[in-house]
A and B are shown apart, each in its own frame.
Chain A
Amino acid sequence: MMLIQCPWCGKRDENEFVCGGTTHIARPPSAVTDAVWGAYLFFRENPKGVHLERWRHTWGCGQWFNAARHTVTHEILAVYRMSDPVPDLSAGGAAS
């Protein structure tokens, strides 16, 4: 069971959250090729390692936030707000 740090409520059980998938995906303008639009909708890095992703504290405060999480260890290296830039993860994680 992961303990996830909601930026508003603090550490809570994984059961209270829903993962919203990869974050920081920029929507292309509407006049683009099918390949660009397909890439935007469906094609992902799917990394075996650190993944920047969205979570929602659905059965808590209901807020969305971003997390940097390792997809093998499930360690959460950083939690940051939706509009924040990608945090510097080189120091080995900012999770408190």
Chain B
Amino acid sequence: MGQKYSAWSLLREGFSGHRHWSPAWRDAAPKPSYDVIIIGGGGHGLATAYYLAKNHKITNVAVIERGWIGGGNTGRNTTVVRSNYLYPESARLYDFSLKLYEGLSQDLNFNIMLSQRGVIRLAHSRHDLDGVSRAANAMRMNGIDADVLTRDQVAAMAPVADFSPDAPYPILGGLLQRRAGTARHDAVAWGYARAASALGVDIVQNCEVRGFVQENGAIVGVETSQGRLRADRVGIAAAGHSSAIASLAGFKLPVTSYALQAMVSEPIKPLLDTVLISPGTGTYVSQSDKGEMVIGAGLDLFPSYAQRGSFAVTQTVLGATLAIFPCLSRLQMLRQWAGIVDVVHDSSPIIGPTPVPGLYINCGWGTGGFKAIPVGGWTLAHALATGKNHELAEAFQLERFNTGRLIDEAAASGIAH
């Protein structure tokens, strides 16, 4: 532990056959009692633990993960990061996250491979063009960078798409956020895990939370597959499994779990150095550093906890991808998978207290919470440490589903991920 990564350490290890690297983080056995327990070792849970230790000096913390860290949606997502949301509350939240991402490799001393290659939302119709202008105006009002691109400007950035006169989905323009891009998902999970572990956080894998211990209604611990662990503050960051955990504590969430799928092709030479999102056809595409074409779909629109993804949707997304990139038609696909995402009615997160005293939650990110890992961890840590909502999270409370003050990004931005 405590080994600092640098060009010098890489050189030194390189000359000694890479035999002396120490493990990046400590795989801990659980202790009987903690100040704070986090349920879920995805990006949000690990980031929460890190910011509890770093920002609030609370280090007697455990992250309890049922499988292995990053094995949920964090390790299954298509890694698009951006902050081009429509409403001011969302823009503030997601841009804070993007700014943390911009400094994260330095902060964590772990290369998260942030690549601000830009994300272009394609417009295929007059209606899409109007939508692009509306979104760009809203973004600028919120102080977020936004460029409206003409057809020729999109063609200059992504000539590989079909710009021929008889293209089935003509590209008429686009919305570009230049600061958006991709980051390495495993590195985000491991970087936070390593930095949290170095500050004293226990990362406990293969440990399932199966119940809560309550006294006078308040949380005083969790029951796990490795025994009872005590803590009077517990945070849930379990994405698609949030409802199951909430039901263990006796309350319901406005969440429906759906499968969201993605797939990658065999690696090919550099072809696309930005991210293209086509909400109209239901596909989005980028190219990984290994050269694979990374293709993401829309939701499988029926409730599911099966991490497979329906072939009906696979067909749709591949059809859409070929309509925009006919040149990919001979490509072999390597892998297809799905993650279970936590969708709420307004596609905005929930970060704050639950009806059970001592129990806090971070969920509702649905199809787009990778970009929000830094801010999700930052704000949940704040709530757990102080008992108060972080100002960025104030609008994103469970209570809004009773008051009706939804932040309806679903209808507004029209883009997933």
Which chain A residues have a beta carbon within 8 Å of chain B's beta carbons? 1-2, 13-15, 18-19, 21, 34-35, 37-39, 41-48, 51, 53, 69, 71-74
A-B contact count (CB 8 A): 73
Interface string of B165-192 (1 = CB under 8 A from A): 0000000000000000000000000000
What is the distance, in angstroms, from B403's C-beta to the closest C-beta of chain A? 6
Instruction: Write out the residue numbers on chain A whose beta carbons fall within 8 Å of the beta carbon of B256.
Output: 21, 44, 46
Q: Tell me how many residues of B have a C-beta within 8 Å of chain A.
A: 26
> CA of A81 to CA of B91 in the docked complex: distance in angstroms?
45
Instruction: Write out the residue numbers on chain A whose beta carbons fall within 8 Å of the beta carbon of B414.
Output: none
What is the distance, in angstroms, from A62's C-beta to the closest C-beta of chain B? 18
What is the distance, in angstroms, from A73's C-beta to the closest C-beta of chain B? 7
Instruction: Write out the residue numbers on chain A whose beta carbons fall within 8 Å of the beta carbon of B257.
Output: 46, 48, 71
Instruction: Write out the residue numbers on chain A whose beta carbons fall within 8 Å of the beta carbon of B303.
Output: 19, 21, 46, 51, 53, 71
> CA of A18 to CA of B302 in the docked complex: distance in angstroms?
8
Known A-B contacts A42-B254, A46-B257; A53 and B302 likewise in contact (beta carbons under 8 Å): yes
> CA of A71 to CA of B305 in the docked complex: distance in angstroms?
6
> CA of A8 to CA of B144 in the docked complex: distance in angstroms?
52
On whether the beta carbons of B255 and A46 are closer than 8 Å, the reply is yes
The one of A14, A37, A43, A45 in contact with B312, judged by C-beta atoms closer than 8 angstroms, is A14
A sample of 5 cross-chain residue pairs with beta-carbon separation below 8 angstroms, ordered by A number, consists of A15-B315, A41-B401, A48-B244, A53-B302, A73-B306
Known A-B contacts A13-B312, A41-B401, A45-B243; A19 and B255 likewise in contact (beta carbons under 8 Å): no
On whether the beta carbons of A72 and B305 are closer than 8 Å, the reply is yes
On whether the beta carbons of A2 and B310 are closer than 8 Å, the reply is yes
State the 3 A-B residue pairs at the shortest beta-carbon distance, nearest first. Answer: A38-B402, A42-B254, A19-B302
> CA of A13 to CA of B315 in the docked complex: distance in angstroms?
13
On whether the beta carbons of B252 and A45 are closer than 8 Å, the reply is yes
What is the distance, in angstroms, from A41's C-beta to the closest C-beta of chain B? 7
On whether the beta carbons of A43 and B306 are closer than 8 Å, the reply is no
> CA of A24 to CA of B403 in the docked complex: distance in angstroms?
24
Does B345 touch A at the CB level, under 8 Å? Answer: yes
On whether the beta carbons of B306 and A71 are closer than 8 Å, the reply is yes
**In the complex, residue of chain B having the shortest beta-carbon distance to the beta carbon of A42:** B254
The one of A13, A43, A45, A73 in contact with B401, judged by C-beta atoms closer than 8 angstroms, is A43
> CA of A38 to CA of B404 in the docked complex: distance in angstroms?
8
User: Chain A: interface secondary structure?
Assistant: mixed
> CA of A43 to CA of B255 in the docked complex: distance in angstroms?
7
The one of B252, B302, B306, B403 in contact with A72, judged by C-beta atoms closer than 8 angstroms, is B306
On whether the beta carbons of B301 and A18 are closer than 8 Å, the reply is yes
Instruction: Write out the residue numbers on chain B whose beta carbons fall within 8 Å of the beta carbon of A13.
Output: 312
What is the distance, in angstroms, from B315's C-beta to the closest C-beta of chain A? 8
20 additional A-B residue pairs with CB within 8 Å, beyond A2-B312, A34-B404, A43-B253: A1-B311, A2-B310, A13-B312, A15-B312, A18-B301, A19-B302, A37-B402, A38-B254, A38-B404, A39-B252, A41-B401, A44-B253, A46-B257, A48-B243, A48-B244, A48-B305, A51-B303, A53-B302, A53-B303, A72-B304
The one of A2, A21, A43, A48 in contact with B254, judged by C-beta atoms closer than 8 angstroms, is A43
Known A-B contacts A1-B312, A46-B255; A34 and B403 likewise in contact (beta carbons under 8 Å): yes
On whether the beta carbons of A74 and B312 are closer than 8 Å, the reply is no
What is the distance, in angstroms, from B253's C-beta to the closest C-beta of chain A? 7
Instruction: Write out the residue numbers on chain B whose beta carbons fall within 8 Å of the beta carbon of A42.
Output: 254, 344-345, 401
Within 8 A of A (CB), among B277-304: 301-304
What is the distance, in angstroms, from B250's C-beta to the closest C-beta of chain A? 13
Within 8 A of A (CB), among B242-286: 243-244, 247, 252-257
> CA of A39 to CA of B344 in the docked complex: distance in angstroms?
13
The one of A1, A34, A45, A72 in contact with B310, judged by C-beta atoms closer than 8 angstroms, is A1
What is the distance, in angstroms, from A6's C-beta to the closest C-beta of chain B? 15
